[in-house]
Structure 1
Amino acid sequence: MKAKTFSGLMLIVAVMIIIPLVITAGTTGKIKGVVTDKETGKPITGASVMLVGTNQGAMTDPDGKYIIMFIEPGEYTLRYTAIGYRTVEITCITVSNDLITEQNVKMEKAVNDLGQVIKVKAEIDKIDETPTSVVKVKGNNSEIKTMPVQNVDKLLKQSAGVVTTSEGEIIIRGGRAGEVAYSVDACRIGDPIGGYPPAHGGTQIVNGEPFDAMFFKNYGVNPFVDTEDDHLSTFAIDVDDASFIMARSYLERGELPPNEAIRTEEFVNHFKYNYSSPESGPFAVHIEGAPSKFGQNCQLLRIGIKGNDIRPENRKAANLVFVVDVSGSMNRENRLGLVRKSLRMLVDNLNTSDKVGIVVYGSQGKVLLEPTSINEKNKILEVIEWLVPSGATNAEEGLRLGYEMAEKMFEKGNINRIILCSDGVANVGRTGPDDILKQIKKYAEKGITLTAVGFGMGNYNDILMEKLGNKGNGFYAYVDDFAEAKKIFLDNLTGTLQVIARDVKIQVDFNPDVVRSYRLLGYENRDVNDDKFRDDKEDGGEIGSGHQVTALYEIKFHKFAKGDRVGTIFIRHKDPDNGEVAEMNRQITRNDFRNSFENSSADFRLAATAAEFGEILRKSYWAKDSKLSAVFDLVKEVFVENDSEDIVQLMDLISKAQKHQDELAEK
């Protein structure tokens, strides 16, 4: 009875939340426009646009565009501010029911003109007036060291136009210290106050933890396990490669990635191998072994799984909800701009049977677009075009609204998926990962899956995004440029959308008579208790159409073992539609290790080098004697047989990492 009462209460609450949003959409107006530099005509990114007398506003995107939605009809004053420009106030702006008022502004640069505001009366939509100010803090390295104050935040506090909030946060002409560019001796530097800037608004601790610019979690490194102690190795599969993309972003910015940002299996799974598709069933299993080039007296075992390829025209109809983070932190590094481009590309490649709904969240969640057929593509694209950042980050409310919409759209037998685009930072509402994750499980069990797509560097939560992808019965991807977005939303669209097997778990039963010990490379955060392998309530991983999963083991054989059976691979999974459980197995024999490393396949050697690259970057004990130069030489040999762009890029990243390591050694 309590359960029914609670469910009824939740339904009432949900209805109370949704109804005002639906009603608001038809009884309010919008203001949109473009903010540009009066002299150059170039768009101004990150300008603040506030509706005076309300808590509504927006920030301009990289194209200078902004939009303020859900405005009650009436007459308003708009205030435009931007670092380095004079403030503009435009009065007598009329907002009408269900109409869009366009208000473009050209802002005039100003130096040391703090506090001056120009007021303009709005007579027509196009406004050619402007203005804010800039604070210049002078001082080179040596001057700062010899001044009465010896750090930048104290120096800033002595400057005009700079104030400190009650919480101690520095505000420079309305912008947080982290939202300002700094230079020393004419060289641009990062935020000297707090590392990477928060730029997210809000006052609560981020994600339930003390604030740090980048959130990662160290899951440790798998050890060698004696088969006499435990001959079973069990884990959930994982198709993610976000860790590799993240490491690439660090290296291309001239930094080594943090150890805890490296997940070895995601380095291996970034690359595509020539696995053949299954003749029947959801996936095929591939096995190859050879002596390891890195481990002492080790054999390397590669287990590959290839999902069944579904042709795009045979894909099921998709009911998609885009849940987009439009908080202030998404205004950095072209995050939201890249989200818009990615979603436009996705919409352009959907089928006429598909539907899309859009939910956004900043300080609060909002429904921007009710479920809409792809036949009304222009309507969907218009909403995407006017996504602009502002406010704090209420991820929990945004996801709740997204799942409520997905449940309303749900059609059994079709694809029902949420696509979350965010930097993972949550600082309003319930911010801890557990608070957000526990609400997702019931929807995942029903068949509503989640793709978590991460954007941004410098203020990013890898932990939350990965957990969302795992718990949401989907996957986690990281996008650092448009080429990576293209891989997810265009090249592998069917695999991104359509799951062919759920809760996939692997258990390898090593033969103690042949195998003395073994070590799984990676998958530390996907470990499953051996006795939970056949517990079908235990969460596993998901495989989409055409997806691949690769796992590597380092194995030590008994010196005089004569048996042929090395072990047995068991793979257990659920049908994504009816939930039926199936299990398959495959023997591992000595014959699988017949080749030398040099005579193994190029794919095998590529996987081995990708794994060792990850192990070195995360400073694994088992790679303490490995050298990046040796890894590079092996990749170069693979390149002779396979000159793909991915392998060229891998060589480039290894070279960059080697250079950074050498520079650190010199220091």
Structure 2
Amino acid sequence: MDRHDKPAIRRRGARFPAVVAALLAAGLAVGGCGAGGGGTNADRADVRTPKGRSAVPDGGNAAPREGEQRSPTPAPDYLSTFALDVDTASYGYARRTLAEGRLPDPATVRPEEFVNSFRPDYERPKDNGFSVTVDGARAGRDGWSLVRVGLATRGADRKAERPPAALTFVVDVSGSMDEPGRLDLVKESLGLLADQLRDDDSIALVAFSDEAETRLPMTRVGDARGRIHEAVDGLATRSSTNVEAGVRTGYDVAVEGHRKGATNRVVLLSDALANTGDTEAESILARIDEERRAYGITLFGVGVGSEYGDDFMETLADKGDGQTTYVSNSAQARKVFVDQLPTHVELRARDAKAQVAFDRRTVEKFRLIGYENREVADEDFRNDRVDGGEIGAGHTVTALYAVKTRPGATGTVATATVRWLDPQTRAPHERSGTVGTAALTGDIWGDGHDSLQLTAISAYFADALRGGGLPGAPSLRDLTNRAGAIADRSGSAVVRELADAIRQASGLLPSREGEKPSGEGELRSGDPYS
């Protein structure tokens, strides 16, 4: 099917022109044969680009920039281009919904957010750019494999060296936030954060219900921790939810308190159930876009509540070069606000995009799993006016492809290239990695592939919640067992939570026992991989 196997989805910009900011993903480093970084990898020589060689797919014929080397342009039908995405809210909200005995709406299930909720131990670069790790393994029969593209940035610098942060917190205090696990969790989180930030960081606080009110102007943390705690403790629920008023006021406060040389960010904490004022996210976005471009202010959305406006929050964060996550308990809130936010304010890359070029001599079909509303036109990969993702220190981004190789073919399968702008100078940079057929000879469920297996389990789980169709998909029972085995070997609580969520889903989804797994034999009618 050539290009037909590439998903026919909206080009990035048709719905939102900008995506993704600093990563605050749930962290897990699981070693294994398939991962980059510290794990062992028998296929490592096949997986990474040799030093001194740059194999870069190109969506056009523009002259190379100084210092760039480019390989011949591949056939356009064999290119896949997307903006980097580090959201995790979809997975967090799905877990909350399943724990309450309900299936998540398939429209809220985004596989890339399931996958990026776990952090493989990819090799880290020594500079401020990205490392590129490409690996994979067989998945099912009929020549199908899973190919993983892993990108990672260098960890955060010592606390004293990072730029200061100027954070404007916009807190929903509408009546719906009175439910346990909403405003009480937000207040607990902000109180913890106030004690973690540096003296030269700044905080502002805006509260909104039917109207918005500035509770604390932009204030240096230094000698004001008591004032900050007092403002947070005074938050109390009132009436309706006017997200528009909160966002507009929050950006006004952020602009007024803008600090040159600092990381300026608006953090929206809400159940995103807008019911007063402008309730359509797109109508609020022009203001966010204006301030994003003029001042570099990014938006980070933190969702709470058993009923949550997922699409609304994602749309706002997307337009604000931002990211979303979801918290439902104190442990998750502590991870985001104590373990991650204070150290992850430092940006490593702006407008980061990835382009994967598949070799038509070895590849018959391919499909990117997820990233539907992050796609970038292939020819815009090197158009730096087209927005990409903002990626912070110590972060990883994973993309997973289902790939059908040609029988008996050998050689390069795919070359993955990441392009980004330096956060300070805006100078463009690129880095590439490759994977060949020799790296895809092992079975994904074989021994020593825990990291790659975890990525596959997350993607297959998300796909099952959306209706299924991925080649080689195991049953939910098998996925539960495999996730449980990894949790036992690694001792990871977050992988154990994944196994529990899959088990809960298996009791809610219609049984498919006896059904032939896709990727083995004839695919189901209407399957996008047929």
Same fold (TM over 0.5): yes
CA distance in 2: counterparts of 1:357 and 1:635, whole angstroms:
41
> 2:301 matched to 1:455?
no
Instruction: Output aligned runs, 1:452-531, within 5 Å.
Output: 452-458=301-307, 460-494=308-342, 496-531=344-379
Q: Distance in 1 between matches of 2:313 and 2:346?
A: 20
Q: Structure 1 residues 602, 239: CA separation in 2 closer, same or farther (over 3 Å shift)?
A: same
Which residues of 2 match residues 241-280 of structure 1 at below 5 A? Answer: 241-280=88-127
2:23 is aligned to none
For 2:142 and 2:508, locate their aligned partners in 1 and report how far apart those are by CA, in whole Å.
Answer: 27
Q: Which residue of 1 aligns with 2:139?
A: 292
Alignment of 1:36-55 (within 5 A): none
Amino acid at match of 2:120: Y
**CA shift for structure 1 position 284:** 1.3
| Structure number with larger C-alpha Rg | 1
Distance 1:479 1:530, change over 3 A: same
One-letter amino acid matched to 2:431? M
**Cα 1:257–1:433 shift into 2, 3 Å:** same
TM-fit CA distance, 1:343:
0.7
Q: How does 1:65-80 map to 2 (within 5 A)?
A: none
Structure 2 residue aligned with 1:633:
481
Deviation at 1:627, TM superposition (A): 1.3
Bigger proportion of residues as strand = 1
Mapped contact 2:132–2:416 kept (Cα < 8 A): no
Matched, 1:567 2:414: yes
Query: Which residue number corresponds to residue 213 of structure 1?
Result: none
**Amino acid in the other structure paired with 1:456:** G
- Is the CA contact 2:132–2:432 (under 8 Å) kept in the aligned structure 1? no
| Equivalent residue number for residue 553 of structure 1 | 401
Distance 1:360 1:639 in 2: 40
SS state at 1:660 partner: coil
**Does the C-alpha gap of structure 1 residues 437 and 495 become closer, same or farther in structure 2, counting only changes over 3 Å?**
farther
CA deviations on 1:16-67 (whole Å, 9 max, x unpaired) are: xxxxxxxxxxxxxxxxxxxxxxxxxxxxxxxxxxxxxxxxxxxxxxxxxxxx
Work out the CA distance in 2 between the residues paired with 1:419 and 1:591. Answer: 45
Question: Which amino acid is the alignment partner of residue 322 of structure 1?
Answer: F
Kindly state the Cα deviation for residue 607 of structure 1 after the two structures are TM-superposed. Answer: 0.7
Which residue identity lines up with residue 419 of structure 2 in the other structure? R
> CA offset at residue 599 of structure 1?
4.0
Matched, 1:309 2:155: yes
Distance 1:625 1:479, change over 3 A: closer
1:360 aligned partner, one-letter code: A
- 1:54 aligns with none
- Corresponding residue for 2:443? 596
Q: Name the aligned partner's letter for residue 238 of structure 1.
A: D
Once the 2 structures are TM-superposed, how far is the Cα of residue 397 of structure 1 from its aligned partner? 1.9
1:661 aligns with 2:509: yes
Query: Given the alignment, which residue of 289, 294, 309 partners 1:441?
Result: 289
Provide the rounded CA distance (Å) in 2 between the counterparts of 1:373 and 1:283. Answer: 32
Task: State how far apart, in whole Å, the 2-side matches of 1:429 and 1:662 are.
Answer: 40
- State the Cα distance separating 1:653 from its structure 2 match: 1.4
Asked if residue 231 in structure 1 is aligned to residue 83 in structure 2, the reply is no
Residue by residue, what CA displacement relative to the aligned partner does 1:130-163 show, whole Å, maximum 9, x if unpaired? xxxxxxxxxxxxxxxxxxxxxxxxxxxxxxxxxx
Amino acid at match of 1:519: R
Deviations 1:141-186 (A, max 9, x none): xxxxxxxxxxxxxxxxxxxxxxxxxxxxxxxxxxxxxxxxxxxxxx
1:663–1:588 CA distance, 2 compared to 1 (3 A): closer
Q: How many angstroms does 1:426 deviate by?
A: 2.0
Distance 1:334 1:641, change over 3 A: closer
User: How far apart are the structure 2 equivalents of 1:574 and 1:240?
Assistant: 20
Which residue matches 1:398? 246
* Equivalent runs, 1:400-415 vs 2, <5 Å: 400-415=248-263
How many Å separate the matches in 1 of 2:246 and 2:90?
A: 25
Q: CA offset at residue 474 of structure 1?
A: 2.2
Aligned-pair distance for 1:296? 4.7
Count of matched residue positions in the alignment of Structure 1 and Structure 2 = 436
| Letter aligned with residue 359 of structure 1 | V
Letter in 2 for 1:254: G
Secondary structure of the residue aligned to 2:478 is helix
Q: Unaligned regions of 5+ residues in structure 2, if any?
A: 1-73, 514-530
CA distance in 1, matches of 2:204, 2:342: 19
**2:166 and 2:264 in contact (8 A); partners too:** yes
The within-5 A match list for 1:58-457 is 230-293=77-140, 296-310=142-156, 311-374=158-221, 375-445=223-293, 446-457=295-306
- How far has the Cα of 1:593 moved from its partner? 2.4
Please name the residue that 2:17 is paired with. none
- SS in structure 1 opposite 2:425? coil
C-alpha offsets along residues 614-636 of structure 1, whole Å, 9 cap, x if unaligned? 11111133369641012123223
Q: 2:299, 2:510 → 1: CA distance? A: 41
Instruction: Describe the shift of the 1:636–1:398 C-alpha distance in structure 2 as closer, same or farther (beyond 3 A).
Output: closer
CA shift, 1:530, in A, is: 1.1
Q: Is the 8 A contact 1:340 1:385 kept in 2?
A: yes
Shift of residue 287, structure 1, vs aligned partner: 1.6
Deviations 1:345-381 (A, max 9, x none): 1111000001111111111111111121212100011
Report the secondary structure of 2:191's partner residue: helix
Aligned partner letter, 2:492: S
Contact 2:487 2:493 in 1 (8 A): no
Percent of aligned positions that are identical: 37
User: Displacement, 1:585?
Assistant: 2.1
| Mapped pair 1:643 → 2:491 | yes
SS in 1 for 2:364: strand
Render the CA deviation track for 1:178-202: whole Å, top value 9, x for unaligned: xxxxxxxxxxxxxxxxxxxxxxxxx
Partner of 2:467: 619
- The amino acid of 1:449's aligned partner reads T
Taking a change above 3 Å as real, the CA distance of residues 439 and 323 of structure 1, as seen in their structure-2 partners, is: same
The separation in 1 between residues aligned to 2:471 and 2:274, in whole angstroms, is 36
How far residue 249 of structure 1 moved from its aligned partner, in angstroms, is 0.5
Query: What is the distance in 1 between the residues matched to 2:230 and 2:142?
Result: 59
Contact 2:402-2:471 at 8 Å conserved across structures? no
| Distance across 2 between alignment mates of 1:247 and 1:350 | 30
TM-score, length basis structure 1? 0.63
Q: Contact (CA 8 Å) 2:144, 2:471: kept in 1 or not?
A: no
Q: What secondary structure does 2:509 align onto?
A: helix
Helix, strand or coil at the partner of 1:653: helix
Question: Could you tell me which residue of structure 2 aligns to residue 186 of structure 1?
Answer: none
Give RMSD over aligned pairs.
2.1
Contact 2:181–2:304 (CA under 8 A) maintained in structure 1: no
The 1:528/1:347 distance shift into structure 2, 3 A limit, reads same
**1:495, 1:547 within 8 Å by CA — same for their partners in 2?**
no
Shift of 1:662: 6.2
Q: For the Cα contact (< 8 Å) 2:350–2:391, is it kept in 1?
A: yes
Does structure 1 residue 532 correspond to structure 2 residue 380? yes
CA contact (8 A) 2:125 2:153 kept: yes
